[in-house]
Structure 1
Amino acid sequence: MSALNLLPVFMVGLAGSVHCIGMCGGIVGALSAASSPRPRPVVAIAVAATGARLHDGAPLRVAAYNAGRIASYMAAGALAGGLAGGAAHLLRLAGLQLAFYWMANLMLVALGLYLMDAWRGLARLEAAGNLVWRRVQPLLKPLLPMDSALKALALGGLWGWLPCGMVYSVLLTAMLSGSALQGALVMLAFGLGTLPTLLALGLVGARLRAAVRRRGVRLAGGLLVLAFGLLGLARAVNGVSLGWLDALCLTGHP
């Protein structure tokens, strides 16, 4: 998979990072004010207000948290790409690959509509994923308060498994990559796309959070992701080639 093929994945992460404000915004903001001597409840951390004054070491903690989060994305991508690629190689299930291709692009369409607040179906998927997250959540307690880069790194690694419709959408693309390495690269590109917003959020705070929650920003991000999904579906119809636009499809046609 070339860097050009990974660019659309990066763009989806960048455009969809407005969704990350709700999912990860509280935890990133809390990293900026992690000087409290008493551990805060996990739920309180998840909804912590951003914009607190930066304390010594906050930029390092924010960077460590995001490094852990992206590492967990890459692990999930490697797992998805390796398992799906191995199954396809052994069973030669071309029809299954085609089904995953359609699912991946339909998920992008759903994600675009979700970001635009036009359809909330992915919220139900995230709610179902909470069953898994409840088993992971107790592991966060020893990491609070987040007063060191090492704790932030570990917390980011766990937080990357938080149920998220956007991550699920891109994981389907990682499944189609054909190998564990390519799946990890897909999720790395996605994670790097989300990085600018979350880094800025951890260092700037509430002003950025308010800006990216504006309807116009969410609409623009949703439209971009929706366009990627529709482009992939158009390419899937009768296997038609879109010329140079093929490079903008997140998944190669099986």
Structure 2
Amino acid sequence: MSLDFLSAFLIGLAGAGHCVAMCGGITTMLTSSIAGERKLNFSLLLSYNLGRISSYAIAGAIAGLTGSLAAKSIGDHIIWLKVIAAVFVILLGLYIAKWSFLLNRVEAIGSYLWKYLQPFSKRFIPVTNIKQALGLGAIWGWLPCGLVYSTLTWSVASADWLNGALIMAAFGLGTLPALLTLASGFAFITTTLRSDIFRTLTALLLIAYGGYSLMIALQQIF
């Protein structure tokens, strides 16, 4: 299972450009002080990310519990969940490389829930304290995202609520480098994480890992 944690972390890291696009605006906002001065406010930034990763972990726990219930119902057929998870990793690699956008359709499904949650985020803006930052992060963790949904399939396949939560927590930690370097002003690192070369290399690694996982799962079936 440790390999799943590492894979989830790498998925978060590989999606640097996507994470910056989705959450970069809020991260930039949190680097400002209460008075509006442009300076780094790590307490708010870390609280926001803690709230966001906590929501990922909760979603992972729910997914893992769902997989556990499915395993009790379908028995050995649970291996098909691993097949689906492997396929999603391949699709994620294609998505990150911008070679296929099938995951956009999956994101569209999550938009139905998001339209009800998003209005609550306005209650925490402008962010002036840690509680508001935690609340905003907790809500933003449910933003429709192909990276999140792809990783959630691994939580389902784990068939365990704790492992599901830890997989998503590992994913959340993987997203931190891009967002923290953006907030800290390390333009070189942020630019590297968003570069075409980095994106293509990580996409190829994800596709290769997804293909390997798919092969192993199919061998267990047949």
Aligned to 2:75: 93
Q: Does 1:74 align with 2:50?
A: no
Q: Would the aligned equivalents of 2:60 and 2:152 in 1 still touch at CA under 8 Å?
A: yes
Residue aligning to 1:246: none
Superposed counterparts of 1:94-133, under 5 Å? 94-95=76-77, 97-133=78-114
More helix by share: 2
CA contact (8 A) 2:48 2:133 kept: yes
Written as runs of structure 1 = structure 2, the 5 A alignment for 1:151-230 is 151-204=132-185, 208-230=189-211
1:206 to 1:136, Cα distance in 2 relative to 1, 3 A: farther
TM-score of the aligned structures, taking structure 2 as reference length: 0.90
> Runs of 5+ in structure 2 lacking a partner?
none
Q: 1:36, 1:101 → 2: CA distance?
A: 50
* 1:93 CA displacement: 3.4
Partner Cα separation in structure 2 for residue 107 and residue 87 of structure 1: 19
Q: Does 1:141 align with 2:126?
A: no
TM superposition shift of 1:11: 1.7
2:4, 2:214 → 1: CA distance?
16
Paired residue for 1:236? 217
- Could you list the per-position Cα deviations for residues 181-223 of structure 1 after superposition, in whole angstroms to 9, with x for gaps in the alignment? 1111111111111122212222227665444332112112212
Residues 92 and 12 of structure 1: is their aligned pair in 2 closer, same or farther, counting only changes over 3 Å?
same
Question: Structure 1 residue 98: deviation in Å?
Answer: 2.5
Q: Distance in 2 between matches of 1:170 and 1:69?
A: 15
Unaligned runs of 5+ in 1: 38-51, 240-252
Structure 1 237/178 Cα, relative in aligned 2: closer, same or farther at 3 Å? closer
- The alpha-carbon deviation at position 35 of structure 1 amounts to 3.4
- Residue 38 of structure 2 corresponds to 53
Q: Deviations over 1:61-92 (max 9, x none)?
A: 11111101110010001111112202312x24
In structure 2, what is the Cα distance between the partners aligned to 1:17 and 1:210?
A: 10
Aligned CA-pair RMSD: 2.1
How far apart in 1 are the matches of 2:49 and 2:190?
A: 17
Tell me, yes or no, if structure 1 residue 35 matches structure 2 residue 34. Answer: yes
Q: Distance in 1 between matches of 2:165 and 2:69?
A: 15
Contact 1:7-1:189 within 8 A present in 2 as well: yes
Are the structure 2 counterparts of residues 4 and 208 from structure 1 closer, same or farther at C-alpha, using a change threshold of 3 Å? closer
Q: Report the counterpart of residue 43 of structure 1 in structure 2.
A: none
Give 2:5's aligned residue.
6
Report what 1:47 is aligned to: none
Structure 1 residue identity aligned to 2:127: M
TM-score (norm 1): 0.80
Given that 1:170 and 1:190 are in contact with CA atoms closer than 8 Å, whether structure 2 keeps it comes out as yes
CA deviations 1:26-56 (Å, max 9, x no partner) are: 111111125367xxxxxxxxxxxxxx9315x
**1:26 corresponds to which residue?**
25
